[in-house]
């Protein structure tokens, strides 16, 4: 049975080392950042969002657990524009566990956690090139609220 558990310090350290690199890569692929600035920009973003790391107030890090295995993670915190909205800052089901319905289940569990924490809704950002994630989020009931577009010159 799938469940969310508070992320341990060890899992958080692993998460941070890989997540910063992944975020930098996604921003480059989206055309938002240059390759040469991407890692510094990603580190600055994470430092700004998480000045106290795992202990940053009002940020909730969960390991997604199936049986005895950590199969992913999810990070919730208040949306910067509306504190009533829980924002999913980061979410991943590890490759070996994808295509088993775990993403949809984890989103449902995270929504329940967000409601218990007093939030009235859940929001997130997804890169336009991530069709797999868009499918999971739409299936879970998310609707488009904003679209950012860009044209290469």
Domain that holds residue 96: 2-139
Asked if residue 91 has pLDDT above 80, the reply is yes
Is residue 153 situated within a structural domain? no
Domain assignment present for residue 151? The answer is no
Number of domains in the chain: 1
Task: Answer for the pair 85, 77: CB distance below 8 angstroms, yes or no.
Answer: no
The answer to whether residue 125 is domain-embedded is yes
Q: Give which of 6, 4, 9, 23 is closest to 130, Cα–Cα.
A: 23
Residue 112 within any structural domain of the chain:
yes
Within a domain: residue 100?
yes
> Is 152 within the bounds of a domain?
no
pTM: 0.89
- Concatenating the DSSP letter of every residue in 50-111 gives -TTGGG-TT-EEEEEEETTEEEEEEEEEE-SS-TTEEEEEEEEE-GGGTTSSHHHHHHHHHH
Tell me if 95 is assigned to some domain. yes
**Per-residue confidence at 4, pLDDT binned at 50, 70, 90?**
very high
Instruction: Tell me what the mean pLDDT of segment 106-113 comes to.
Output: 96
Tens digits of residue pLDDT in 9-39: 999 999 999 999 999 999 999 888 999 999 9
Rounded average pLDDT over 86-107? 95
Q: Residue 129: inside a domain, yes or no?
A: yes
**Measured distance CA(102)–CA(80) in Å, rounded:** 28
Which CATH number fits the domain that encloses residue 101?
3.40.630.30
pLDDT at 149 over 90: no
């Amino acid at each position: 049975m799938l469940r969310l558990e508070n992320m341990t310090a060890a899992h958080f350290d692993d998460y941070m080392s890989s997540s910063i690199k992944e975020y930098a890569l996604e921003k480059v692929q989206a055309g938002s950042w240059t390759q040469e600035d991407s890692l510094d920009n990603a580190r600055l973003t994470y430092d700004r969002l998480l000045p106290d790391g795992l202990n940053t107030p009002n940020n909730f890090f969960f390991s997604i657990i199936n049986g005895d295995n950590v199969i992913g993670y999810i990070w919730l915190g208040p949306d910067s524009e509306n504190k009533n909205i829980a924002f999913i800052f980061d979410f991943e089901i590890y490759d070996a566990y994808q295509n088993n319905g775990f993403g949809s289940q984890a989103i449902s569990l995270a929504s329940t956690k967000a409601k218990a924490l007093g939030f009235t809704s859940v929001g997130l950002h997804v890169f336009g090139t991530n069709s797999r994630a868009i499918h999971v989020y739409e299936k879970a009931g998310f609707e488009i609220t904003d679209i950012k577009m860009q044209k290469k010159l």
